[in-house]
Amino acid sequence: MATDIEISAMRRALDAARATARTLPNPRVGCVLLSPDGKELAIGAHRGAGTPHAEVDALEQAGEAARGATAVVTLEPCNHTGTTGPCTKALIDAGVARVVFAQIDPNRTASGGTKTLKAAGIDVESGPLAAEATDLNEEWTFAMTAGRPFVTWKYAATLDGLSAAPDGTSKWITSEEARRDVQVFRAEADAIVAGTGAVLADDPRLTVRDAKDLPLPFDRQPLRVVVGETKIPNYYRVFDRVAPTLLIQSRDPEVVMQKLVENNIRHIWLEGGPRLAGAFWNAGVIDRIIGYIAPAMLGSGRAALEGEATTLADLRPITIDDLTMVGPDIRMIGTPGRMQREDFD
């Protein structure tokens, strides 16, 4: 059973992981090394693909003092060689005596660390603060277990549910404060996805703006993904040099997802327009909704979502996880559910 000192160290490891910039397609991981008498030797964190994993970061800081130490890690140490070597080997070579980790690694490629560590004579314990560690990497964990990226759909609408006027204009429905708030969420994804219709109508950059104002460090733009068969002229801003752009000539969510899996994308930020969002909604692959609702009415125009509902029995409930005022607008964060037709009988 983990000691109070180890649980306290796990909280510090979680804090270290939370303080890092986006690490996708890898998870955020923190590690605290404790001496045999419980004193902190080092705190490590993973900072993105190609950089040392949290355990190695902490071991390098501790040096020879790591021999006989306890490694407290937010995720089960990896057991495979990718762009870096396996953390299990690094821990064994350093002479660590005990490993306490929170979340079991759901990545089949990297799992098996516990067995390897135990075979080397290291005492291993799992589970302390596992729920917090899993929440820290919600989107990554989902992608590892579901075999597809986690999808966050963002939309902006008036109180009557419209995202564009009858003439197609949509800039700007919500406030400047809401648009700044969006950047914080965009920065957490590793791909920003929009349909060709929305790109042609608005000529968006599909990038994270005002990075210096973000609450966490930001070091690279998400991949821009434009979905659809309509050709986009090469002078549009999605083709500038600010970020890479991937064109997918299909609106089929299954095809889109497969292409993104091939590009190691774990979390996509879906921005529309309504037809593309509707395709994802109909396919049941929207996992989180972030809606910004402006205190205004249009009366007519385009709905935020173009789905295939034909009767009230097609209604799908949303679990509201958060409601916050952002400037004059309401930000709603919700999780889609499913409604069975017999519930309306």
Catalytic residues, which ones?
A: 55
Instruction: Please check whether residue 60 is in contact with residue 85, taking contact to mean a CB–CB distance below 8 angstroms.
Output: no
Q: Report the C-alpha gap between 161 and 173 in whole angstroms.
A: 11
Q: Report the C-alpha gap between 307 and 285 in whole angstroms.
A: 13
Q: What is the dihedral sign for C-alpha 302, 323, 338, 186?
A: positive
As given in the structure block, the two tokens for residue 165 are 């006027």
Which residue is associated with the tokens 């990297």? 110
Which residue is associated with the tokens 């957490």? 188
User: How far does Cα 84 stand from its chain's mean position?
Assistant: 22
